């Protein structure tokens, strides 16, 4: 594709519900990253996939957060039992080779 795409663009959910956020990286990019950006804040690293290697999950804030990447392409970030503090924009980025990252438009998550 032309760029990284993410869906949905906006998600409003109730506290306690589970949500799934999807990222389609640029075709052929081996690395995929998830970040969280709270209002007016910087980018908080969540998780990183590189090829077939075990993902770097060091940024996941709690065990309610998980992510997987199927077939080395599409990735899904899952947040279980959402809390209000999970409200943020979730950004996905991909890269062919470090370090330049190409970001998607993000998913704005609002937990009521």
Partner 1 sequence: GQQVMQIPQYQHVQEGEDFTTYCNSSTTLSNIQWYKQRPGGHPVFLIQLVKSGEVKKQKRLTFQFGEAKKNSSLHITATQTTDVGTYFCAGPSGSSNTGKLIFGQGTTLQVKP
Binding site for partner 1 (CB under 8 A): 31, 33, 35, 40-43, 45, 48, 50, 56, 91, 93, 95, 97-106
Strands 31-37 and 65-69: unpaired
Rank residues 53 and 78 by Cβ distance to partner 1 and give the closer one: 53
Q: Considering beta carbons, is residue 50 or 73 the nearer one to partner 1?
A: 50
Nearer to partner 1, 80 or 105 (CB): 105
């Amino acid at each position: 594709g032309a760029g990284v795409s993410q869906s949905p663009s906006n998600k409003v959910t109730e506290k306690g519900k589970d949500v799934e956020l999807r990222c389609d990286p640029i075709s052929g990019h081996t690395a995929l990253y998830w970040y969280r950006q709270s209002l007016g804040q910087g980018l908080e690293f969540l998780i990183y996939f590189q090829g077939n290697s075990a993902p770097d999950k060091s940024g996941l804030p709690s065990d309610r957060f998980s992510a997987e990447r199927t077939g080395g392409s599409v990735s899904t970030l899952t947040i279980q039992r959402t809390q209000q503090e999970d409200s943020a924009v979730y950004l996905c980025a991909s890269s062919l080779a470090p370090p330049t990252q190409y970001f998607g438009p993000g998913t704005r998550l609002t937990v009521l």
